[in-house]
Structure 1
Amino acid sequence: MNSNQRIATGPTTSEGKSISSKNATKDAIFSKGLLPWEDARELEDLMMGLQKQWGNHASARILMLPIEQAYIEMRRLMMAQKKRIEGVMLSTDIARQFVQEAGFAELSFLYLPHWFFLESGQDEKDYAIFIDRVQEEALKLKANFHDQIVPTIAQKFSNLYQYVMENQPSHASILTVLGQHYRQPTPALNLGALSNKIGEDFKYHLQWATNPKRYEGIIEGIRAQQMIGAMDLEKFHRYLTRTQNAMTKGIQALAQLKETLRLEGERVEQKKLHSNAIEIVEIHAQASNASPFKVSGTV
């Protein structure tokens, strides 16, 4: 055996070569040139859907690449717009506008937490409602505390119970946990200390909870103004239109290619049928010439 002969290490069957080629294409298209937040699987699903609709042959795949690129650019534009709006929403100008419309203290805009103004701050806003209920139940239990109410605390003061007993063993008593944490001589004093601590640690949560629908409405109005400003950017519209046109042209090219291939397939099929018909006629003619009963002519 020639020692210089190259030994094949890749797939040898047609199926294996097809899979290998497909994987290589996926690596090239979906793994290179993406930003950290971009999902390669999403782009893969896009391309697989296009191939399912328009075909998996080489010509179609070439036409799909500009569509994929335009889709990536459009998503990046949308993300850039979102980041721009979020950035503006965190500016002191937005906070100043909010405190004026909400009726807060004039300088409080310097201290309001970011989650007031971000769509991603919904968890904190939900927690604000919860922590407000915890404090309300703590003060209510403090004002009405007696020994007979202790067995019903978990049911009647469920938010307070959930807050105090978080990460506590199931056999623990809420009064014991409060006593260990705040070290006051009576349950009522421990509940008062809990309420004070909540007021210190969750000042802005409690402020939000005083009128969450009104505050959210004010912020949504401010956000809408910023969105309109962002969408009016001439450069953004120009880039967005370019990506949309690229995708539209790509789809039109795929549709035209599919129709061309369909017509070519019909032409080939008709040619094949015509060729088969000629062959049948020739076979019959040859069979007729070879018949032993045929009169050969004048002797």
Structure 2
Amino acid sequence: MQPKFHKRLVMTIVMTSLASIALSSCSAHDSNADGQNSVETRLDKKLGIIHFPVEQFSVSADEDDTLTSAYTIKVAECANEQGVRFYPSAPTHDIANITSNYFGVWVKEYAEKYGFVGAQSDADLVANGIKGAPHVTHRGTLASRNNGKLTDEEWNVVDACHAHAKAFDSRTIAPNGPWAKAANAATNSALASEAAEKVESSYDACLKAADLEPDPGNPGFVRGSDVNVISPQQIALALKVVSCKTQVHYVESLSELVADAQAPTVAKYHKELVAQRRRIDAALVKAKNVIADYQRDHPDFK
């Protein structure tokens, strides 16, 4: 049997424990300060979030949204001081930055609303050309409506102001280290393992019992599923898929395998990862303060 590889669609943050290993090298102080005395995949079955161990030490999409907002505020302050009206971007807190479709649709509430389409705002559904998206008119943000009017000369001023916002650059705060490649390899190995094949077999058997045909090229999906269409037919199909995933503990089982596989990587780079997580948390505190201050002075910032 050919191993099945899951295609990464959306990764994000926060969730319930599945598998853990103690890290004996972590002191009691570190453990209390960072909440990282164990390594686990965290799941939130209500929001559809999947967060593998190594990712818990990285900037999530939702956190990056906050950092980016503070970054653009600092750029705007610098540009405005030089006579260029640049509009910063407000945090979106978009559901697409929070939920995860790593294993395909698996939350009933999302299946009922989106079918196999990833959860996202109505405006994004329209912008992404999703068939069956609600008819909404989105005027865009102040930034999207106005920054496009800047001249090349004004953009040169804006570009020079990026140096004033480096404290909120996620690439600087949490650069990719050797753990990223190691964690990715561990994940692929876990999802191609015999244990993963057993989970897939149980899932496939459930699908066939429901008169559905598994899609061998896209584990977690079925023949006939369409990530670009929301319709009664797609919703009905997605609900059957979610039912099977729930019955065989599909997401929980595969996530636990990934947690076990990534554990040695977290143990090996634990000191570096904890330091990175602390940098992220500190930057987020500052970013939220910057955003709050700006919102207080600019009520239309949204």
> Which structure shows the bigger proportion of residues in helix conformation?
1
Does TM, scored on the shorter chain, surpass 0.5?
no
Higher gyration radius (CA): 1
Asked which structure has the greater RCO (Cα within 8 Å, sep 6+), the reply is: 2
- Calculate the TM-score normalised by the size of structure 1: 0.26
